Structure 1
Amino acid sequence: MVSMTSWLEHYGYALIFTALFLEMLALPIPGEMMMSYTGLLVFEGKLNWLLSIVAASLGVSAGVTLSYWIGYRFGNTLVTKYGERIHLGEERLAKMTSWFEKYGNKLLFVVYFIPGVRHITGYFCGITRMPFRKYAVYALPGAVFWVSLFISLGRVLGPKWEMYHKTVNRYMVIFGILSAVLGALIYIYRKNKQRLLESILSLIKKGIRHFNSLGKVRFLVLVAFVVFVTCVSLMLGLIQDFLAQEFSQFDEIASYIILTLFGPEWRQPMEFFAVLGSDVLYASVILVTALWVLFKSRKKLLELSFFLWVLVGGELLDEGLRALFHRPGPVVFGHQWINTFPSEDTITAVTIYGFSAFLLLRHAGKSAVAIPVTLIVILACALIGTSRVYFGTQFPSDVVAGYVFGGVWISLNVLLLEILRMLQKNKKTGRKTE
């Protein structure tokens, strides 16, 4: 660390540019470590944050651009001569090129987070003759995002960076892989939207014939299904980590970042954010949602009954989970909070705000309100969880677990509600036919 920081202090932005430029040409230079140490020097006031990001972005951009043109100019010749030695003949290259044309550009933005892969991506895009404009549109913004994130993390973590470096890198790799998978799924969904909708809904309805009668609700049901599968997977991982007692380092890093980003001057705003999870606001949202259902829904009794079940059942689920895991919470001013896993506040927020938003969007006349309502719900839940960590009443892992368990609960009930609704409709249709 001493030699690298001294080199950085000596040569500054020129070293940042050169090191990242060479790393993108596949030279064995630790770019992530370089950027994190750069962030540490930014924290110490020895380098400028914005200039560091500019120098790093230019270095990475120049490196990936040169590697692309090297692959474009010499790649096919090398594959023809030596490809068979590494099992990369012309036929296999043609297949990989076809695949890359369909999916590859979608992965360029996040490929920087995957060590080893980012070093060869530029060469491979050139070899496969991906149009440079398309390559640049995805690769260059990805470069800026990658360097900005790592330098900013180094700046935020400051002197604790070295302690957390391996853990942060692991989370970044996971983030990169998940982002790549998510990008591929979004692309596949867009290309096969109608077929996927029909397939998934046919499984949910289990043979019910009135698929087209769902109208705009199809998308909400699909989202609920994806959220359910995702949250169940995360839930199993959380339970495994809880049993293995692997939350301590995550809690320490996340708490440190939040308290560093939001200093003492944020106390008053955080108190306001905490009010978003108050009983008064929850009661107001529940009342408005109930009135909305009474005014808009044709299945008033079914939806109100289900809404009540979601609220009561969510509370029982929360109490049961916290009693089951029985995790001691943080100690604040000599007082230790008990049974904080999963967070009661975030699981309640996700349950009430999430299911209320579903009922609102299901009967909304304009689909344009979907994005604003969704963003408001996500922001409100995020602010509630952040305020709990800021005031030290809950661990970050408690908050995350609340989001995950709450997501499982509301997505499951959205699916059940739509299945019941369709079963009722199918039953009425059958009686009329008779």
Structure 2
Amino acid sequence: MQLLTGLIEHFGYTVLFMSLMLELIALPLPGEFLMGYAGVLVFQGKMNWTVSILIAGTGSCTGMTLSYLIGHKLGAPFFYKHGHRIHFGPERLEKTSSWFKRHGNKLLIIAYFIPGIRHVTGYFSGITRLRFSTYSIYAFTGAFIWTSTFISLGKLLGPQWEQFHTSIKKYLLLGSIFLLIIFTMGYLLKTYKLKIKVLLLLGLGKGAQRFQSLRRLRFLIGAITVIFLTFVIIMGSLIENYLNNEFKQFDDLVMTLIPLIFNEKWGVWMKYFGMFSSVKALISLVVFSVIWILIRGTEKRIESSFLLIIVIGGEIYEEGIRRLFHHLHPVHALLPKYVLYPFPSEQTLTAFVLYGFSAYLLIRHLKKGAFNILIIIMTGITIMMVGLSRIYFLQQSPSDVVAGYVFGGVWLSLNILILEVFRFSHKLGNMPDFEAGE
């Protein structure tokens, strides 16, 4: 490693370009470490930030292009001739190629952050005959996102880069795998939605003969189920890490990055962001949700009841789990005295639940796709900034904030799931027999 850092100090951009190109042809080079170290040199004024990203991105794109061309020229004939020996003959290759052409391009962006995966995606894209114009858009975009991330983090952290390098790789890897799991779940849900819907109908005791009616509602239930289970799995992991006191490394990393990204000039904005989790803001949000239900709700009684459950039950839920974890964990962070039970964060949990449910009600009764996307983006930014303000003012630890999001996600998705199942059952129960075949 010292040899490579010495080379990049002396030859700079040339080593950065060559190392990333060769790594993406599948040579065992520590590209992420070198990009981070290049960021440190940027911090020291020895390299230029913009030029470093351009050179690193171009090197990555060159490596991905070469691996694609090698796969395109040599890969397919090999599998057609010898693939049956590894149970990957022509028929399976065709099926895989067809899937990859439809969905694989989206994985190219995520793949860079997963060691081992990024080294083969170029070859596989070529083998499966993915159109180069499509391939290059996703692969080159992912290359510049990947290189920008590590060089920028190295620049931000400066001398502390080596201390947090392993942690950064770990959390970026976990985030990428999480996105990959979400993508896979979405694909499986879409591919096997027929079987899932039939099972849902059977579970509700209505049989599969009414399959064609309420199609969107059944698919929505399946999607929410996947989201709920994902939150539950993450929650289980967080609980284990909390009880084993394994959040220190994560908290130290985030608490180091936040002041570097958001300086003292952000103080006023952070105060405004924090106000979105105030009692007045949340009460106004609940009132707005009630008015929206009364104006646009299709089943006002059901939706109003669940809003009441989410608000009152959510308060009991968050207070109970915070007290429970306070007593289970013997070590507590040094926080202001008024933060009695920091894990999970009360503010981020409540904001996630109430803003999330309000956004869900808006989207549920609007038919404008572009406007719905805007609602999702704005809601996500609001919830994220609430948590960020808590970290910025040292009111809560990053792990407490993240846990608030996850525990809030569990409560929100569970209630929406029950609401939609209840709505589904209610509609089926009121459906006349002649609608069965519609």
What TM-score bracket applies, with the shorter chain setting the length? 0.7 to 0.9
1:284-295 equivalent positions in 2, closer than 5 A: 284-295=284-295
Q: Deviations over 1:157-177 (max 9, x none)?
A: 222111111122122222333
Instruction: Choose 12-21 or 207-216, whichever is displaced more.
Output: 207-216
Match of 2:70 in 1: 70
Between the two proteins, the alignment pairs up a number of residues equal to 428
Match of 1:102 in 2: 99
Conservation of the 8 A alpha-carbon contact between 1:106 and 1:183: no
Match of 2:379 in 1: 377
The one-letter amino acid paired with 2:99 is: K
Conservation of the 8 A alpha-carbon contact between 1:329 and 1:336: no
1:24-39 equivalent positions in 2, closer than 5 A: 24-39=24-39
Shift in Å, 1:345: 0.2
Instruction: Choose 91-100 or 273-282, whichever is displaced more.
Output: 91-100
The one-letter amino acid paired with 1:386 is: L
The one-letter amino acid paired with 1:65 is: T
Match of 2:145 in 1: 145
Describe the SS at the equivalent of 2:139: helix
1:242-257 equivalent positions in 2, closer than 5 A: 242-257=242-257
Match of 2:206 in 1: 207
Q: What CA distance in whole angstroms lies between the structure 1 residues aligned with 2:183 and 2:189?
A: 10
Shift in Å, 1:311: 0.3
Q: What CA distance in whole angstroms lies between the structure 1 residues aligned with 2:432 and 2:92?
A: 51
Q: Deviations over 1:213-233 (max 9, x none)?
A: 547555654442222111011
**Structure 1: runs of 5 or more not aligned:** none
* Change over 3 Å in CA distance of 1:330–1:286 after alignment to 2: same
Describe the SS at the equivalent of 2:25: coil
Match of 1:411 in 2: 413
Conservation of the 8 A alpha-carbon contact between 1:329 and 1:339: no
Shift in Å, 1:314: 0.4
Q: Deviations over 1:341-377 (max 9, x none)?
A: 0100011101111112222322335454321222221
Conservation of the 8 A alpha-carbon contact between 1:217 and 1:362: no
1:174-323 equivalent positions in 2, closer than 5 A: 174-189=174-189, 192=191, 195=194, 198-199=197-198, 201-202=200-201, 205-207=204-206, 214=214, 217-218=217-218, 220-323=220-323
Conservation of the 8 A alpha-carbon contact between 2:80 and 2:89: no
Instruction: Provide TM-score, normalisation by structure 2.
Output: 0.87
Instruction: Choose 143-152 or 197-206, whichever is displaced more.
Output: 197-206
The one-letter amino acid paired with 1:178 is: F
Q: What CA distance in whole angstroms lies between the structure 1 residues aligned with 2:258 and 2:98?
A: 40
* Change over 3 Å in CA distance of 1:101–1:330 after alignment to 2: same
Conservation of the 8 A alpha-carbon contact between 2:297 and 2:365: yes
Q: What CA distance in whole angstroms lies between the structure 1 residues aligned with 2:137 and 2:367?
A: 36
Q: Deviations over 1:151-208 (max 9, x none)?
A: 1221222221111111221222223333333334444555x38637734753674537
Conservation of the 8 A alpha-carbon contact between 1:22 and 1:63: yes
CA RMSD of superposed structures (Å): 3.1
Identity among equivalent positions (%) equals 40
* Change over 3 Å in CA distance of 1:405–1:43 after alignment to 2: same
Match of 2:354 in 1: 352
**Structure 2: runs of 5 or more not aligned:** none
Among 389, 393, 396, the residue aligned to 1:394: 396
* Change over 3 Å in CA distance of 1:241–1:96 after alignment to 2: farther
Q: What CA distance in whole angstroms lies between the structure 1 residues aligned with 2:424 and 2:91?
A: 47
Shift in Å, 1:32: 1.0
* Change over 3 Å in CA distance of 1:365–1:187 after alignment to 2: closer
Shift in Å, 1:56: 0.4
Q: What CA distance in whole angstroms lies between the structure 1 residues aligned with 2:51 and 2:174?
A: 28
